Amino acid sequence: MAQTSEESNGIVETIKTVVYALLIAGIFRTLFFQPFWIPSGSMKDTLLIGDFLFVNKMAYGYSYASCPSIIIPAVGLNIDAKDVCGLLRDDNKRLWAGLPERGDVVVFRHPASGRDYIKRLTGLPGDRVQVKDGVLYINDAPVALEDVAAFEETYAPQGPLRSLPRCENVPAGNGGICQKSRQIETLPNGVAHSILNIGTQSTDNTPAFTVPAGHYFFMGDNRDNSTDSRRRQQAGGVGFVPFENLIGRADRILFSSAGRSMLFFWTWRSDRFFKSVI
Protein backbone atom coordinates (compact mmCIF):
# COMPACT_ATOMS: atom_id res chain seq x y z
CA MET A 1 0.00 0.00 0.00
CA ALA A 2 1.41 3.41 -0.99
CA GLN A 3 2.07 5.93 1.74
CA THR A 4 -0.25 8.89 1.94
CA SER A 5 1.15 12.41 1.96
CA GLU A 6 0.09 12.73 5.62
CA GLU A 7 2.08 9.59 6.54
CA SER A 8 5.14 10.89 4.66
CA ASN A 9 4.87 14.24 6.38
CA GLY A 10 4.59 12.45 9.74
CA ILE A 11 7.83 10.53 9.12
CA VAL A 12 9.62 13.70 8.06
CA GLU A 13 8.44 15.52 11.16
CA THR A 14 9.56 12.65 13.38
CA ILE A 15 13.03 12.70 11.80
CA LYS A 16 13.22 16.48 12.21
CA THR A 17 12.22 16.18 15.87
CA VAL A 18 14.94 13.59 16.52
CA VAL A 19 17.56 15.71 14.71
CA TYR A 20 16.57 18.84 16.64
CA ALA A 21 16.67 16.93 19.93
CA LEU A 22 20.16 15.62 19.16
CA LEU A 23 21.35 19.12 18.21
CA ILE A 24 19.97 20.62 21.41
CA ALA A 25 21.53 17.83 23.48
CA GLY A 26 24.86 18.32 21.68
CA ILE A 27 24.83 22.08 22.30
CA PHE A 28 23.91 21.56 25.98
CA ARG A 29 26.71 18.99 26.39
CA THR A 30 29.24 21.20 24.62
CA LEU A 31 28.48 24.48 26.39
CA PHE A 32 27.12 23.73 29.84
CA PHE A 33 27.37 20.30 31.46
CA GLN A 34 28.96 17.01 30.42
CA PRO A 35 27.88 13.73 32.00
CA PHE A 36 30.74 11.73 33.48
CA TRP A 37 30.69 8.24 34.97
CA ILE A 38 33.49 7.10 37.29
CA PRO A 39 34.99 3.84 35.94
CA SER A 40 37.98 3.42 38.28
CA GLY A 41 38.99 3.80 41.91
CA SER A 42 41.73 6.42 41.45
CA MET A 43 39.71 9.10 43.29
CA LYS A 44 38.43 7.05 46.25
CA ASP A 45 36.97 7.88 48.62
CA THR A 46 35.98 11.26 47.17
CA LEU A 47 34.57 9.49 44.12
CA LEU A 48 33.58 5.83 43.99
CA ILE A 49 33.33 3.49 41.03
CA GLY A 50 29.80 3.94 39.71
CA ASP A 51 29.36 7.60 40.69
CA PHE A 52 27.52 9.56 38.00
CA LEU A 53 28.00 13.31 37.84
CA PHE A 54 27.76 16.30 35.54
CA VAL A 55 30.88 18.33 34.86
CA ASN A 56 30.50 22.12 34.92
CA LYS A 57 31.99 23.21 31.58
CA MET A 58 31.34 26.89 32.23
CA ALA A 59 33.77 27.00 35.17
CA TYR A 60 36.96 27.45 33.12
CA GLY A 61 35.62 28.74 29.81
CA TYR A 62 35.91 26.95 26.49
CA SER A 63 38.63 25.41 24.35
CA TYR A 64 38.88 22.63 21.77
CA ALA A 65 38.50 20.15 24.68
CA SER A 66 34.98 21.48 25.26
CA CYS A 67 33.85 19.74 22.09
CA PRO A 68 32.43 16.30 22.93
CA SER A 69 34.16 13.07 22.02
CA ILE A 70 31.99 10.13 20.99
CA ILE A 71 33.81 6.83 21.47
CA ILE A 72 31.83 3.58 21.14
CA PRO A 73 34.29 0.75 20.45
CA ALA A 74 31.52 -1.83 20.02
CA VAL A 75 30.35 -0.17 16.81
CA GLY A 76 33.72 1.26 15.76
CA LEU A 77 32.69 4.87 16.46
CA ASN A 78 35.60 7.10 17.46
CA ILE A 79 34.93 10.81 16.99
CA ASP A 80 37.48 12.77 18.97
CA ALA A 81 37.15 16.37 20.12
CA LYS A 82 40.18 17.30 18.03
CA ASP A 83 38.40 15.90 14.95
CA VAL A 84 35.60 18.42 15.48
CA CYS A 85 37.43 21.40 17.00
CA GLY A 86 41.03 20.68 16.04
CA LEU A 87 41.53 24.14 14.55
CA LEU A 88 41.28 25.58 18.08
CA ARG A 89 43.95 23.26 19.46
CA ASP A 90 47.57 23.99 20.45
CA ASP A 91 47.20 27.68 21.30
CA ASN A 92 46.62 26.86 25.01
CA LYS A 93 43.97 29.56 25.22
CA ARG A 94 40.34 29.55 26.27
CA LEU A 95 37.29 31.63 25.45
CA TRP A 96 35.76 33.33 28.53
CA ALA A 97 38.52 31.70 30.56
CA GLY A 98 38.21 31.18 34.31
CA LEU A 99 41.24 30.04 36.25
CA PRO A 100 40.96 26.77 38.20
CA GLU A 101 41.75 26.75 41.91
CA ARG A 102 44.02 24.42 43.82
CA GLY A 103 41.96 21.53 45.15
CA ASP A 104 39.38 21.54 42.34
CA VAL A 105 38.35 18.10 41.08
CA VAL A 106 38.75 18.47 37.34
CA VAL A 107 37.94 16.46 34.24
CA PHE A 108 40.60 16.97 31.56
CA ARG A 109 41.84 15.40 28.36
CA HIS A 110 45.03 13.37 28.67
CA PRO A 111 47.68 15.35 26.73
CA ALA A 112 48.81 12.25 24.79
CA SER A 113 45.88 9.81 24.52
CA GLY A 114 43.06 12.37 24.50
CA ARG A 115 41.00 10.24 26.92
CA ASP A 116 39.04 11.92 29.69
CA TYR A 117 40.61 11.78 33.17
CA ILE A 118 39.35 13.08 36.51
CA LYS A 119 41.85 14.10 39.22
CA ARG A 120 42.47 16.74 41.87
CA LEU A 121 44.43 19.86 40.94
CA THR A 122 47.40 20.10 43.32
CA GLY A 123 49.98 22.16 41.40
CA LEU A 124 49.48 25.59 39.79
CA PRO A 125 51.72 27.21 37.16
CA GLY A 126 55.10 28.05 38.70
CA ASP A 127 54.66 25.71 41.68
CA ARG A 128 57.41 23.33 42.74
CA VAL A 129 55.71 20.00 43.50
CA GLN A 130 57.29 16.91 45.04
CA VAL A 131 56.24 13.81 46.98
CA LYS A 132 58.50 12.55 49.78
CA ASP A 133 57.64 9.39 51.70
CA GLY A 134 54.04 9.74 50.54
CA VAL A 135 53.72 13.37 51.69
CA LEU A 136 52.92 16.10 49.17
CA TYR A 137 55.25 19.11 49.21
CA ILE A 138 54.24 22.34 47.48
CA ASN A 139 56.94 24.96 47.10
CA ASP A 140 59.13 22.97 49.50
CA ALA A 141 56.54 22.97 52.31
CA PRO A 142 54.68 19.78 53.32
CA VAL A 143 50.90 19.91 53.29
CA ALA A 144 49.08 19.40 56.58
CA LEU A 145 47.96 15.81 57.24
CA GLU A 146 45.62 14.36 59.87
CA ASP A 147 45.11 10.64 60.43
CA VAL A 148 41.45 9.55 60.48
CA ALA A 149 39.58 6.24 60.47
CA ALA A 150 40.57 3.77 57.76
CA PHE A 151 38.49 3.52 54.59
CA GLU A 152 36.74 0.15 54.30
CA GLU A 153 35.04 -1.54 51.39
CA THR A 154 34.09 -5.08 50.40
CA TYR A 155 36.71 -7.07 48.56
CA ALA A 156 34.64 -7.97 45.51
CA PRO A 157 34.49 -7.12 41.78
CA GLN A 158 33.34 -3.53 41.23
CA GLY A 159 31.56 -1.80 38.36
CA PRO A 160 31.15 -2.97 34.76
CA LEU A 161 34.89 -3.68 34.52
CA ARG A 162 34.58 -6.02 37.54
CA SER A 163 37.89 -4.78 38.94
CA LEU A 164 39.01 -5.83 42.40
CA PRO A 165 40.02 -3.11 44.87
CA ARG A 166 43.59 -2.89 46.11
CA CYS A 167 43.93 -3.22 49.88
CA GLU A 168 46.46 -2.27 52.53
CA ASN A 169 45.47 -5.32 54.58
CA VAL A 170 45.04 -8.89 53.36
CA PRO A 171 41.26 -9.43 53.11
CA ALA A 172 39.74 -12.80 54.00
CA GLY A 173 38.90 -13.74 50.41
CA ASN A 174 35.97 -12.54 48.31
CA GLY A 175 33.52 -10.65 50.51
CA GLY A 176 36.16 -9.75 53.09
CA ILE A 177 36.88 -6.25 54.36
CA CYS A 178 39.41 -4.30 52.29
CA GLN A 179 41.09 -1.49 54.23
CA LYS A 180 43.15 1.54 53.26
CA SER A 181 44.71 4.11 55.57
CA ARG A 182 42.99 7.48 55.31
CA GLN A 183 44.20 10.99 56.06
CA ILE A 184 42.75 14.46 55.69
CA GLU A 185 45.09 16.52 53.52
CA THR A 186 44.83 20.31 53.70
CA LEU A 187 46.25 22.23 50.76
CA PRO A 188 47.87 25.68 51.14
CA ASN A 189 44.64 27.49 50.20
CA GLY A 190 42.69 25.66 52.92
CA VAL A 191 40.96 23.02 50.78
CA ALA A 192 40.74 19.84 52.89
CA HIS A 193 39.97 16.41 51.47
CA SER A 194 40.67 12.78 52.25
CA ILE A 195 43.44 10.72 50.66
CA LEU A 196 44.03 6.97 50.83
CA ASN A 197 47.19 4.91 51.20
CA ILE A 198 47.72 1.28 50.22
CA GLY A 199 51.46 0.76 50.60
CA THR A 200 54.90 2.00 49.65
CA GLN A 201 55.55 2.40 45.94
CA SER A 202 57.65 4.45 43.53
CA THR A 203 55.23 7.38 43.31
CA ASP A 204 55.59 7.94 47.08
CA ASN A 205 58.96 9.52 46.28
CA THR A 206 59.31 11.69 43.20
CA PRO A 207 61.66 14.26 41.75
CA ALA A 208 60.76 17.91 42.24
CA PHE A 209 58.54 19.10 39.39
CA THR A 210 58.29 22.77 38.44
CA VAL A 211 54.92 23.32 36.78
CA PRO A 212 55.35 25.29 33.51
CA ALA A 213 53.35 28.41 32.72
CA GLY A 214 49.91 27.58 31.36
CA HIS A 215 49.99 24.04 32.79
CA TYR A 216 48.68 22.19 35.85
CA PHE A 217 49.69 19.25 38.07
CA PHE A 218 47.06 16.64 39.01
CA MET A 219 46.95 13.77 41.51
CA GLY A 220 44.38 11.14 42.42
CA ASP A 221 43.04 11.02 45.99
CA ASN A 222 43.62 7.26 46.06
CA ARG A 223 47.32 8.01 45.91
CA ASP A 224 48.67 4.49 45.39
CA ASN A 225 46.12 3.60 42.71
CA SER A 226 46.29 6.61 40.39
CA THR A 227 47.95 7.34 37.07
CA ASP A 228 48.59 11.08 37.29
CA SER A 229 51.13 13.90 36.95
CA ARG A 230 53.65 12.16 39.20
CA ARG A 231 54.71 10.17 36.14
CA ARG A 232 55.71 11.85 32.91
CA GLN A 233 53.85 10.91 29.74
CA GLN A 234 56.93 9.09 28.46
CA ALA A 235 56.71 6.83 31.53
CA GLY A 236 53.01 6.10 31.06
CA GLY A 237 51.73 8.93 33.24
CA VAL A 238 49.87 12.19 32.68
CA GLY A 239 52.63 14.75 33.12
CA PHE A 240 51.77 18.44 33.05
CA VAL A 241 48.31 19.23 31.67
CA PRO A 242 47.88 22.30 29.40
CA PHE A 243 45.19 24.83 30.31
CA GLU A 244 43.38 24.13 27.02
CA ASN A 245 42.94 20.45 27.98
CA LEU A 246 40.67 21.20 30.95
CA ILE A 247 37.06 20.21 30.30
CA GLY A 248 35.35 21.30 33.50
CA ARG A 249 34.95 21.07 37.26
CA ALA A 250 33.16 18.24 39.07
CA ASP A 251 30.80 19.87 41.55
CA ARG A 252 28.13 17.35 42.54
CA ILE A 253 27.32 13.64 42.22
CA LEU A 254 23.81 13.04 40.87
CA PHE A 255 23.57 9.38 41.87
CA SER A 256 25.78 6.36 42.32
CA SER A 257 25.44 2.70 41.41
CA ALA A 258 27.35 -0.06 43.20
CA GLY A 259 26.36 -2.60 40.54
CA ARG A 260 27.45 -3.51 37.03
CA SER A 261 25.23 -0.87 35.41
CA MET A 262 23.98 2.53 36.44
CA LEU A 263 20.58 1.35 35.18
CA PHE A 264 20.35 -1.19 38.02
CA PHE A 265 18.47 1.17 40.33
CA TRP A 266 18.37 -1.41 43.13
CA THR A 267 22.17 -1.04 43.46
CA TRP A 268 22.09 2.77 43.77
CA ARG A 269 23.81 4.20 46.85
CA SER A 270 21.16 6.33 48.57
CA ASP A 271 23.74 8.27 50.62
CA ARG A 272 25.40 9.70 47.50
CA PHE A 273 22.41 11.37 45.81
CA PHE A 274 23.32 15.01 45.02
CA LYS A 275 26.47 14.74 47.15
CA SER A 276 28.90 17.65 46.82
CA VAL A 277 32.37 16.85 45.45
CA ILE A 278 34.91 18.21 47.92
Active site residues: 42, 119
- The DSSP call for residue 94 is -
Bond prior to 116 in cis (omega within 30° of 0): no
Residues 251 and 259: beta-carbon distance below 8 Å: no
**CB-CB neighbours of 111 under 10 Å:** 16
Distance (Å, whole) CA 50 – CA 156: 14
Helix, strand or coil, per DSSP, at residue 195: strand
Evaluated on CA atoms 145, 256, 273, 149, the torsion sign reads negative
Distance (Å, whole) CA 47 – CA 124: 22
Distance (Å, whole) CA 119 – CA 230: 12
Distance (Å, whole) CA 64 – CA 95: 10
Helix, strand or coil, per DSSP, at residue 161: coil
Helix, strand or coil, per DSSP, at residue 45: coil
